[in-house]
Structure 1
Amino acid sequence: MTVRAAWLHSTGQTREDTRLTLSALLTPNGQSAAETPLRSRPGIVPGGLVLTGASAMQCSIGTGRAVIQGSDTAQGAYMIAVTSPETLTIADGDPQYPRIDLIELAVLDDAYDRSGATDAVIRLVKGTPAATPVVPASGPGSAFPLYTVAVPAGTSAGTGGIAWTTAGVVTTLHYPMTALGGIIPTSGFKGAYVGQYRDVSGLLQRWDGTAWVSYPKPIGGIAPHGTMTTGGYTGQYRDNAGVLQRWDGAAWQYAEGKAAVLFSVSQTSMQSVPASTWTPITLQNVDIDDFTGWNGSDSFVVPRTGWWRVSGHVAWNGDSTTGVRGARITLGGVGVPRMTWLGPAATGAVTVGGQGLIKLTAGNVLQLAGYHNHTAAVRTLGGSGYYSNLSAQWIRS
């Protein structure tokens, strides 16, 4: 019959019937479309079958449980339990060349593999010594690899044996399995069905039928910092170094009203400004710089795209009472016309400046420049109660 059931018929239920039907509780293998309906994903129940060194040339495989899919799909999946540790003895190393031995969990079922045995075993497959050794082929039956052991040339109990705790000597080959619907704590395999989940280094992922999709991408998920460069849908949010951003379909925009950027620098030392040229003002004191955009001298690199309120003023010394005094915001070295202010010179200090709204892009460079048309250099005031200043505040995207 092609439709089989467990514990339905009063007589005639075979071991094959039982294995095939109980595998409905296991995760499908899913490595190809042909495998998914009837083949189960092999593996061990997490935490079991741990290898430890028992002596110079012996190791112990601890207790645990596992699933082995039969080589023939019709075999179904074999459920294995190791109830006591198994001790394996490693043969002495070859005098000239190293080798690699394989430790595997295997099911021998003569009805399918003609092995002459019906048993479940943990076995050691000895490798072939070579200048560049390779992992030996699996033994007969349906097998699941557990570990490889590197055996250097000349290794024996008399020379100290296998260095069980040395990196690179023992390589873990096994991987975990879970029941159907379980979250598998591993990576490196295709999903078997839409809606399957896996845990990859603490990140939850879902199989969408084609690829593993990290948990932040589903509707409503806020992506953690550094996990996403392109939004999955318009209206998605992400955490960008502690600041919330929203994907508008083409770019990340900062969430309205959820964060502010404040910047202010002031001049604390006098500066000599030549005549008839717009000159960047050097500002020594950082009042506040939320995103460290100031270069320490005369330039502010805009950290966030959006609308900004920018203000600037230059405090002039009374070196001369002739001509005009000016202040200007420059963007990329070019003056912004609506943020240019001029006033007449006067006896004593003269402060010229103002503020305005401007749309800026992350990476733009802002400067405060000063201007006068006296015949000789004129100094700015940086002290004695007078500071030149450049400040900026991000308002919205």
Structure 2
Amino acid sequence: MADPVWEDSLTYTGLELRQSDSPIVMSDGTAMGSRPGVRPGDTGLTTSLAGSTINVSAGVATLYRSGQGVYRAAMPASTSPGSVAAAHATLARIDLVYLRVWDTDVDASGLRKAEAVYLAGTAAASPVAPTPAGTQIYIPLATISVPASGGGSPSVSTAVRPVTVAPGGILPDTALASGYYTGQYRDNSSTGALERWDGTAWRPWSSATRGIAPSGYTTGTYTGQYRDNTTTLSPDRWDGSAWTTTEQPTGSVYNASASLASHASTYFAVTWTGLRSSNRTGMWSAGNPTRLVMPVPGTYLLDGVIVWPGALGSADGRGEVRVNGAAVVDGRVNIGRGSVGNASAIIGGRVIATAGGQYVEVFLNQNTGSTVNGLICNFGITRLTANTS
């Protein structure tokens, strides 16, 4: 049976009181756990150096040990836990300054007090900060980087000092890999964003409420979310499984050495040897080499060129653009008449895709009486608008 605190005639153990204090400190994600640390913006318990003397300013903090509850500690005056140990002759070292609570019921120290402690590290080629041994109840306050002898003065970093807030508070901790609960917020000092833990990842508050997500987010929060793309300088849209650029679909294909049989009236589709560029997957494939696919409905601009070789002679080279196999009036290839040199024919016009996945092809005709080789063909489409009429 548990004793509720602050009731007359009841007596309490220290453990009962510490565990009863757990609700006033942010949870660490466990049933009775708490996150230890100093308060955000609190300048107390700051470590500094005066020569080799270590100083820790007055301040307050909460400490936690599993099964033992919350220890609230206050240092009413500045203190010095000692002096920095002498530097190693050739190797660097990292030392640790920490706030310790002695509780003889837990650590068998025979003491009940709180104090700043200095612990020298081990000199090494790649030094790391030491870890207090045994059952010590503590939070780190600072590390002191000590260069090898003659390498300069020691320097202090307070980056290791944890910060805690009241339950539901905004935690200023960029390093927290996972949130303690869905709906937790944190201030990300690296990005300047207020972020919410959605149970899987930290999401900027703006994107969690249908705002633009930063460029680094590999997955969207919901279908229809937009992301800033710093490479294309156009937003991406999350379609539920992938980010899709909102740039208008565009793609171009080529064949630098096409052949065209001779026929009085039959037109032959140009076989494209590859994509020159595309911002949508599936616009061209080797399985359907004559087709350039229009991935979404809309009106598309045609552009391209056919360079007829001198073998065309005095014959005409004709062409047309077809959508799904049917010729379109506004998609002609200019007639190119050959000579001893080459002649260019421009592909121009507009075509309409009434549904995504429809395709365009370029068909050519020549009637020289023999196959003409060495045609240079380039063809591209770009959607102008979603209009299909």
What TM-score results when the alignment is normalised by the length of structure 2? 0.63
Partner of 2:4: 4
Partner of 1:25: 24
Whether 2:185 is the aligned partner of 1:197: answer yes
The 1:189/1:68 distance shift into structure 2, 3 A limit, reads: farther
Asked whether the 8 Å contact 1:324–1:372 carries over to 2, the reply is yes
Alpha-carbon deviation of 1:206? 3.7
Asked whether the 8 Å contact 2:319–2:335 carries over to 1, the reply is no
Structure 1: distance between partners of 2:128 and 2:381: 66
Alpha-carbon deviation of 1:276? 7.4
Letter in 1 for 2:316: V
Structure 2: distance between partners of 1:148 and 1:328: 74
SS in 2 for 1:67: strand
The 1:370/1:39 distance shift into structure 2, 3 A limit, reads: same
Between the aligned residues of both structures, percent identity stands at 28
Whether 2:69 is the aligned partner of 1:80: answer no
Whether 2:119 is the aligned partner of 1:143: answer no
Structure 2: distance between partners of 1:13 and 1:114: 21
Asked whether the 8 Å contact 2:35–2:164 carries over to 1, the reply is yes
SS in 2 for 1:311: strand
Asked whether the 8 Å contact 1:198–1:204 carries over to 2, the reply is yes
Alpha-carbon deviation of 1:225? 4.3
SS in 1 for 2:155: coil
Whether 2:162 is the aligned partner of 1:175: answer yes
Asked whether the 8 Å contact 2:25–2:35 carries over to 1, the reply is yes
Asked whether the 8 Å contact 2:146–2:153 carries over to 1, the reply is yes
Asked whether the 8 Å contact 2:140–2:162 carries over to 1, the reply is no
Structure 2: distance between partners of 1:313 and 1:99: 67
Aligned CA RMSD, in angstroms, stands at: 5.2
Alpha-carbon deviation of 1:182? 1.3
Q: Which of 176, 185, 194 matches 1:188?
A: 176
The 1:374/1:355 distance shift into structure 2, 3 A limit, reads: farther
Matches within 5 A, 1:104-115: 104-115=98-109
The 1:336/1:217 distance shift into structure 2, 3 A limit, reads: farther
Partner of 1:338: 327
Asked whether the 8 Å contact 2:300–2:385 carries over to 1, the reply is yes
Q: Which of 54, 63, 68 matches 2:63?
A: 68
Alpha-carbon deviation of 1:29? 2.0
Q: Which of 297, 303, 325 matches 2:279?
A: 303
Letter in 1 for 2:302: S
Alpha-carbon deviation of 1:52? 3.0
Letter in 1 for 2:182: V
Alpha-carbon deviation of 1:121? 0.8
Asked whether the 8 Å contact 1:216–1:224 carries over to 2, the reply is no
SS in 2 for 1:306: coil
Partner of 2:47: 51
Matches within 5 A, 1:232-271: 232-240=221-229, 243=234, 246-252=237-243
Structure 2: distance between partners of 1:314 and 1:212: 49
Count of matched residue pairs? 338
Partner of 1:326: 318
Partner of 2:112: 118
Asked whether the 8 Å contact 1:328–1:336 carries over to 2, the reply is no
Asked whether the 8 Å contact 1:275–1:373 carries over to 2, the reply is no
Asked whether the 8 Å contact 1:314–1:326 carries over to 2, the reply is no
Asked whether the 8 Å contact 1:323–1:344 carries over to 2, the reply is no
Asked whether the 8 Å contact 1:306–1:395 carries over to 2, the reply is no
Alpha-carbon deviation of 1:68? 0.6
Structure 2: distance between partners of 1:313 and 1:79: 76
SS in 2 for 1:188: coil
Letter in 1 for 2:21: L
Q: Which runs of 5+ in 2 are unaligned?
A: 253-257, 263-267, 281-294, 338-343, 373-378
Partner of 1:40: 34
Asked whether the 8 Å contact 1:44–1:66 carries over to 2, the reply is yes
Partner of 2:203: 214
Partner of 1:286: none
Asked whether the 8 Å contact 2:196–2:205 carries over to 1, the reply is no
Matches within 5 A, 1:91-102: 91-94=85-88, 99-102=93-96
Structure 2: distance between partners of 1:312 and 1:94: 72
Letter in 1 for 2:49: G
Q: Which runs of 5+ in 1 are unaligned?
A: 31-35, 265-272, 281-298, 378-388
Partner of 2:155: 164
